[in-house]
Amino acid sequence: MRTPAETRAGAIRLAGGRTLAYTELGDLDGAPVLYCHGGLSSSGDIGFAHGAFAQRGLRVIAPDRPGTGDSTRHMPRRVADWAADAAGLCDVLGVGEFAALGWSAGGPYALACGAGLGPRVRLVATVGGMAPLGGDVRAAQLGLAADRLLFPMARRASAAARAVVWASTHAPVRVLHRQLVKHLPPADEAVVAAMTPTEATADLTHAVRRGCGGVVDDYVVLGAEWGFALEDVTCPVAVLQGAQDTLLPMAHARALAGGLPTGELVVVPEAGHFLLHTATGTVLDRLAG
């Protein structure tokens, strides 16, 4: 096993000339896990678990989605199209079979891999993952004010949505940090309060380093038809949900677990949306299994 201090970063050229940037962490010789980052964020949001992944013998491959970080913007697209990008990255890195892990808005992208890549994906784990919007699952139920605003705005007034994201990223980091902590449930508040303001906003800052368009695109893509049905994901799926999560509430987890042929709902009683931080072992046990 490599030492936990070692990571790798790079970028590949996809068909059509697009660039897909990525980071690798954990045990770089271990069992591969493709990580799909959260919304208003980027691939660095899993960096805190580097040592834990290394100890479990898991190699994390964390790409930035199109338009995020150093990855080329790509529209129009659907969530389903992510499977081809993931496969292209894994091909270049010499990875065959892998597990897919998605946190929050990254959950749909992990599921897209399960739907589109067949037996190449041995299992999927969503952590506080988003379900398709519609019916009983609506953007208005989301706990983050930015999400409630940007889902409808991104579709109807993309320029205004980009302006909102720009204003957020140019606010003082102390203000952003304080506002985020203020609106979190107690289960999550301690996690974010322990970060410095710079740490708490670093992944959003990286996400928009080449402009705000990619972040807004993500809202458009996630709020539209995904391009696959939950029934298309036939590999085992662990739907991990913090019981105290108010940012992506339990309705999403129930919709996912109920719609997936092999979905298993795993509720972590004392956790919130940041259960990757507070229940890391529970998540990694599922991936290692």
Per-residue pLDDT of the chain (289 residues; tens, 9 = 90+): 344 558 999 999 998 899 999 999 999 999 999 999 999 999 999 999 999 999 999 999 999 999 999 999 999 999 999 999 999 999 999 999 999 999 999 999 999 999 999 999 999 999 999 999 998 899 999 999 999 999 999 999 999 999 999 998 888 999 988 888 887 888 899 999 999 999 999 999 999 999 999 999 999 999 999 999 999 999 999 999 999 999 999 999 999 999 999 999 999 999 999 999 999 999 999 998 7
Distance CA 221, CA 102 (A): 16
How far, in Å, CA of 220 to CA of 174, rounded?
A: 29
End-to-end alpha-carbon separation of the chain, Å?
A: 19
> Which residues 6+ apart lie within 8 Å of 70 measured at CB?
11, 19, 21, 64, 209, 210
pTM: 0.96
Residue count of the chain: 289
Record the tokens describing residue 238, joined without a space.
Answer: 């662990």
- Cα separation of 201 and 245, whole Å? 20
Chain mean position to CA 203: 12
Domain chopping of the chain, boundaries: 8-288
Domain 8-288 fold is: Rossmann fold (3.40.50)
Distances (CA, A) of 91 to 9, 225, 232, 250, 267: 16, 27, 23, 35, 34
Strands lying side by side in the sheet with 8-13: 8-13, 19-26, 58-63, 31-36, 98-103, 121-127, 237-242, 263-268
